[in-house]
Amino acid sequence: MRFETSTIKDIAKALGLSTSTVSRALRDRYEISEETKKLVLAYAEKVNYRANPIARSLKERRSYSIGIIVSEIANNFFSQVINGIESIAYDKDYHVIISQSHESYKQEKLNVDHLASRSIDGLLIALSSETQDIDYLRDLYAKGLPIVFFDRVPEDFETHKVIANNFKGSFDATEHLILSGKRTIAHLTNSENLSITKERLEGYKAALVKYHIEFRPELVKYCQHGGMHSAELEQAVKELLPLKPDGIFISSDRLTTGCIMALKKTNPEVAHKIAIAGFTNSNLVELFSPSLTSVKQPAFEMGQVATELLISMIEAKRPVTEFETKVLDTELVKKR
Amino acid sequence: MRFETSTIKDIAKALGLSTSTVSRALRDRYEISEETKKLVLAYAEKVNYRANPIARSLKERRSYSIGIIVSEIANNFFSQVINGIESIAYDKDYHVIISQSHESYKQEKLNVDHLASRSIDGLLIALSSETQDIDYLRDLYAKGLPIVFFDRVPEDFETHKVIANNFKGSFDATEHLILSGKRTIAHLTNSENLSITKERLEGYKAALVKYHIEFRPELVKYCQHGGMHSAELEQAVKELLPLKPDGIFISSDRLTTGCIMALKKTNPEVAHKIAIAGFTNSNLVELFSPSLTSVKQPAFEMGQVATELLISMIEAKRPVTEFETKVLDTELVKKR
DNA sequence: TTGTATGCGTTATCAC
DNA sequence: GTGATAACGCATACAA
């Protein structure tokens, strides 16, 4: 607070009380006479007193704020998750600080360090597609920082996690393509080391197995940058088309929109012939690709659940030892 | 910082120095012997010392963080602006705190108050479409909080502002429709009290005048919620179609995507016959509506410029008295 | 060049 | 029930 505001001291002086009395009245904590409490509250209201959270943070050694790390806020899925996070956090008087990793490990680490040093009380994080080494998170966790992972989670890290039922979502989407008569189904997906990539690949494979369709590795294309660079997608499309796929199952929001763009740009004549099913939370996309089937993730809910878990860790009297991995169901929205 | 960390005091004790010496060495501020400075820095590095920004904020009465208020982060334009803001802020060692108003005046005010009480050093804000009374901002400004408006700016507020050349962008877009042979051009736009709405309406009108086309108020539809609710857009489309427009000039990103969706949903048979030109920073949209022409705003740059202005205000020795309104050019991206 | 003392605004531990 | 006082971690005016 760089500019003038009234403090507890001001109120105390004005009312002829001590700062501790004022503090108690404001916090309604220790026993205090109704009378003086009312007096203080009334005066505080009058001068529009706002407690200085910086001072409070320093004293209490906590900040009432939680950090969020996502790869991109310009991603329908993540912005919906963030809305879910905010809905719970604000309700419980926590502030949120959003940071973007832009799918870069270096940036992710930088942001986390920054947040940690800025005294966040807990961290909600979806790993970047580059991230493989999470020792820096382990250190922070060991030092006492509560962490909850969502969507993109590590395997070997004992804490709460919230994910979608990626296996089932992928299975359903692939099955839908198969039931529509498709037989050569490609799979366009994220970086190989993301948890969601692995889980979704398994769901895709399982559907193929069920319908006795051979799994062909060359039909699977990985995009390291999650479709942020159009060149990456155009390259994938270019490699895929000679294999004559009649369907594509796509593993993320950005990839789905990006792939449709790449198809229309590089091969408009075949674009409409290929059925697409993809993880996407964007309403827009569905409309334009008539045969697009989307796997909707409960993004808002994922944000809510993750935040509730995090806050429970933050406010727990002693370290949590029982962890859970919440798995939320996806919804298949079929189009024509 | 809720968990263990080494402080200046720890370093001082370990090195047999005083806290002030350590502080000075770390901040490299007062004259201090090269020797002790090196000693301190080396040790600080060794124990991975991180200054507690909370304590620093309390002491210096500033937080090295700037607040951002936008209506929605899930808006291509705003997320690009935010990226621009971050690029400058991080470079100058400021942290950013993002809040969403969701086009609600109440939420906007709540967020601003929250940020202000959390000791932001400055505020970057694009007003919500509901906002009419900005006295609360005036109060904060009077108390010393530097504020820079971008995109959606108030008329009667003397401070730095950064906007796009909305008049010219709208003029160009409308003219483009006219030159394509359109004569009945509707205008779909935001809430009437937004600055961008007014400026864009003027550009639209000016283009009509130039080509001797009569301005018909019934062809202009305002959307209070900026296209966040699909019902709102469907209603607008429903009212517009009986007037048989052959072109629509749309005033924002969300409205453009939303309008195309509404058209395809409610009147797929005429959707492709209507030429659309709209303010949108989404690459996706262009692809799907073949005749869509977009007015691209320099969003990233807008974020950068606004942030530079804000930081200059924050770091100015005395109150700024000369204000500027930066006007950035838009770019018309024509399709076929 | 370095050390001592003070205060930022708040909460907590004592006394009274 | 209330008031003095210390402390959170840091920066700085002042003294040495």
- Average pLDDT per run of 10 along chain B, which is 336 residues long? 76 93 86 88 92 91 92 92 95 90 93 85 96 94 94 95 98 97 96 95 98 97 85 92 95 89 86 90 71 92 98 85 94 82
Q: Which of B53, B145, B285 lies nearest to residue A3, judging by beta carbons?
A: B145
Q: Is A333 helix (H, G, I), strand (E, B) or coil?
A: strand
- Ordered by where they begin, the domains of chain B are 8-51 (no CATH), 63-164+300-328 (3.40.50.2300), 166-296 (3.40.50.2300)
CA-to-CA distance for A8 and A5, rounded, in angstroms?
10
Neighbours of B258 (CB within 10 A): 27
CA-to-CA distance for B36 and B15, rounded, in angstroms?
10
Q: What is the pLDDT of residue A3?
A: 62
A8: nt with nearest C1' to CA: C9
**Shortest CA distance to B66 belongs to which of B29, B97, B45, B39?**
B97
Q: Which of A3, A54, A74 lies nearest to residue B144, judging by beta carbons?
A: A3
Structure tokens at A3: 């500019």
Its pTM stands at 0.90
CA-to-CA distance for B82 and B323, rounded, in angstroms?
22
A272 close to B (CB below 8 A): no
CA torsion sign for A270, A274, A279, A283 is: positive
pLDDT band at A288 (very low <50, low <70, confident <90, very high): low
Which residue in A has a C-alpha nearest to residue B315's C-alpha? A2
Higher pLDDT, A217 or B232: A217
Neighbours of B215 (CB within 10 A): 14
- Give the pLDDT mean for A308-313: 96
CA-to-CA distance for A264 and B283, rounded, in angstroms?
12
- Tens of pLDDT, residue by residue over A151-161, are 999 999 999 99
- Tens of pLDDT, residue by residue over A61-91, are 888 899 999 999 988 899 999 999 999 998 9
B33: nt with nearest C1' to CA: C1
- In Å, what is the separation between the CA of B268 and the C1' of C5? 78
User: DSSP assignment, residue A13?
Assistant: H
- In Å, what is the separation between the CA of A58 and the C1' of C11? 10
Phi, psi dihedral angles at A303 (to 5 degrees) = -60, -40
Q: Is the pLDDT of residue A123 over 80?
A: yes
A243 close to B (CB below 8 A): no
- Tens of pLDDT, residue by residue over A225-239, are 877 788 889 999 999
Q: Is the pLDDT of residue A2 over 70?
A: no
What distance in Å separates residue B67's CA from the closest CA in chain A? 10
Which residue in A has a C-alpha nearest to residue B1's C-alpha? A119
Burial, A9: exposed, middle or buried (Cβ in 10 Å; 0-12, 13-18, 19+)? exposed
Phi, psi dihedral angles at A70 (to 5 degrees) = -130, 170
Is residue B143 within 8 Å of residue A4, measured between CB atoms?
Answer: yes
Report which secondary-structure segment, H or E, holds A302. Answer: helix A299-315
Residue A72: left if φ>0, alpha if ψ -120 to 50, beta else—which one?
beta
Q: Which of A52, A69, A87, A118 to mutate to test the interface with B (most CBs of B within 10 A)?
A: A118
The overall average pLDDT reported for chain A is: 91
How many residues comprise chain B? 336
Percent of chain A at pLDDT exceeding 70: 96
Q: What is the pLDDT of residue A323?
A: 94
**Which letter, b or e, does each residue of A78-88 get, where b requires 16 or more Cβ atoms within 10 Å of its Cβ?**
bbbbbbbbbeb
What distance in Å separates residue B3's CA from the closest CA in chain A? 5
Structure tokens at A199: 């889980």
